[in-house]
Structure 1
Amino acid sequence: MYELKVITQFAAAHRLDNFYGKCEALHGHNWKVEIFLRADGLDEAGLVMDFGKIKSRAHEILSEIDHTFLNELPAFKTQNPSSENIARYLFERLGAAINNDRVTVSRISVWESDNTSASYFLAG
């Protein structure tokens, strides 16, 4: 089993409803995103996937949320744009763009600060 990791980032504002603390007010983060891919084998070039291709797909998706007010996006109209929900959202979006019969997005970790993160991953 092989695993790749690509680190990228985006900046956005959000607020957390029903939080009853400082984060209920509008605020922003410079999120760091860790993208993990898993594959049982390598392609004919000896790669899981070209890092450039992963970065390109990630950039396409992150550009849709970068420098936005996350609460106003359709994906977060009915749920808080918490780090947990952002990780799941990116997992699903990147998985749809990257997954194939050999390669799978296995985990997304979203860091909202140097000391706190949330991950969404494949079970098992």
Structure 2
Amino acid sequence: MNNGSFYTVAVQRDFVAQHFLFGGDWGDENQRHSHHYRVEVLLEGTELDQHGYLVDIVDIETQLDALVAYYRDKTLNELPEFSSLNPSIEHLSRIFCDSFSERISARNINAVTVKIWENEIAWASFRRERP
């Protein structure tokens, strides 16, 4: 039974993608430009499996690598999931989190958090609890 304690496992990857922001005057951000993004996926749960894992890190890496490959070298504005959304790191973290959560099959995961940095000091995150 959970007493408020959680295990957390995290994996990071880097990728470069382009975007431009719209709907406001954000100077250079309104023009197409690249970011060297860093994405971190954090999985939380209260129970380990029979091997002492929350989730096998290889499984996390496999799913994360597939998602990173999808976004790598793309212009986010041109992807269907951003057809009517400003491709902010807030939206990107939510979309990435939901996609990752659908891909990971471990039943003992209570929450998935995705944190995305667009540079060395600025990041946004999104956390999705799982039933």
CA RMSD in angstroms comes to 1.3
CA displacement, residues 11-38 of structure 1 (integer Å, 9 cap, x when unaligned) = 1000001131220111010100011001
CA displacement, residues 87-123 of structure 1 (integer Å, 9 cap, x when unaligned) = 0011000000015421244211100000100011147
**CA distance in structure 2 between the partners assigned to 1:34 and 1:73 by the alignment:** 21
**CA distance in structure 2 between the partners assigned to 1:78 and 1:34 by the alignment:** 25
Tell me, what secondary structure is at the counterpart of 1:12?
A: strand
**CA distance in structure 2 between the partners assigned to 1:67 and 1:104 by the alignment:** 32
Is contact 1:94–1:105 with CA below 8 Å preserved after alignment? no
Specify the alignment match of 2:55 in structure 1: 49
Aligned length: 123
| Stretches (4+) displaced over 6 A | none
Specify the alignment match of 2:92 in structure 1: 86
TM-score, L = length of structure 1: 0.93
TM-score, L = length of structure 2: 0.89
Specify the alignment match of 1:20 in structure 2: 25
Specify the alignment match of 2:69 in structure 1: 63
Is contact 1:35–1:105 with CA below 8 Å preserved after alignment? no
Tell me, what secondary structure is at the counterpart of 1:20?
A: coil
**CA distance in structure 2 between the partners assigned to 1:53 and 1:9 by the alignment:** 18
In structure 2, the gaps of 5 or more residues are 1-5
Amino acid at match of 2:14: Q
**CA distance in structure 2 between the partners assigned to 1:39 and 1:99 by the alignment:** 13
Q: Cα–Cα, structure 1 residues 50 and 95, in superposed 2: closer, same or farther, change >3 Å?
A: same
Is contact 1:98–1:105 with CA below 8 Å preserved after alignment? no
What is the CA distance between 1:47 and its match in structure 2? 0.5
Specify the alignment match of 2:3 in structure 1: none
Is contact 1:91–1:105 with CA below 8 Å preserved after alignment? no
CA displacement, residues 7-64 of structure 1 (integer Å, 9 cap, x when unaligned) = 1121100000113122011101010001100111111111011111101101111111
Tell me, what secondary structure is at the counterpart of 1:29?
A: strand
